[in-house]
Amino acid sequence: MKAAVYYETGAPDVFRYEDVPDPTAGPGDILIEVEAISIEGGDTLNRLGGDLARMPHVVGYQCAGTVAEVGADVRGFAVGDRAVTVGLDGSHAARRVTPESFAWKIPETVSTDDAACVPVPFGTADDCLFEFGHLQAGETVLIHAGAGGVGIAAIQMAKRAGARVFSTASSDDRLERLKELGLDEGINYVTHDFVAEARRLTDGRGVDVVVDSVGGVTLQGSINVLAYRGRCVSVGDAGRSAAEQLDISTMRGNNQTFSGYFLGAELLLSTRPHGMIAGHLDAIGRGELKVVIDRVFPLSDAAGAHAYIESRQAFGRVLLVP
Q: What is the pLDDT of residue 242?
A: 65
| pLDDT tops 70 at residue 12 | yes
Q: What is the pLDDT of residue 311?
A: 92
| pLDDT tops 90 at residue 282 | yes
Overall size of the chain counted in residues: 322
Counting residues of the chain whose pLDDT is more than 90, the rounded percentage is 95
Q: What are the residues whose beta carbons fall under 8 Å from the beta carbon of 209, sequence distance 6 or more?
A: 129, 133, 134, 135, 139, 140, 141, 142, 163, 230, 231, 232, 233
Q: What is the pLDDT of residue 238?
A: 75
Q: Distance between alpha carbon 285 and the CA centroid of its chain, in Å?
A: 19
The ranges of the chain annotated as CATH 3.40.50.720 are 121-264
Phi, psi of 117 (to 5 degrees): -100, 5
| pLDDT tops 90 at residue 245 | no
The ranges of the chain annotated as CATH 3.90.180.10 are 2-117+291-321
pTM of structure: 0.95
Q: Which CATH class name applies to 121-264?
A: alpha beta
Classify 148 as helix, strand or coil.
coil
The CA-atom distances, in angstroms, between 128 and each of 107, 150, 239, 289 are 25, 10, 18, 17
- pLDDT category of residue 184 using cuts at 50, 70 and 90: very high
Q: What is the pLDDT of residue 272?
A: 94
| pLDDT tops 80 at residue 240 | no
The whole-number average pLDDT for the span 164-170 is: 97
Q: What is the pLDDT of residue 244?
A: 72
| pLDDT tops 70 at residue 239 | no
Indicate the residue type of 225: V
Nearest to 294 by CA among 148, 96, 150, 145: 148
| pLDDT tops 80 at residue 21 | yes
| pLDDT tops 90 at residue 223 | yes
Average confidence score pLDDT of the chain: 96
The tens digit of pLDDT for each residue in 114-161 reads 999 999 999 999 999 999 999 999 999 999 999 999 999 999 999 999
Cis, bond preceding 56 (omega within 30 deg of 0): yes
Say if domain 2-117+291-321 classifies as CATH 3.30.1490.20: no
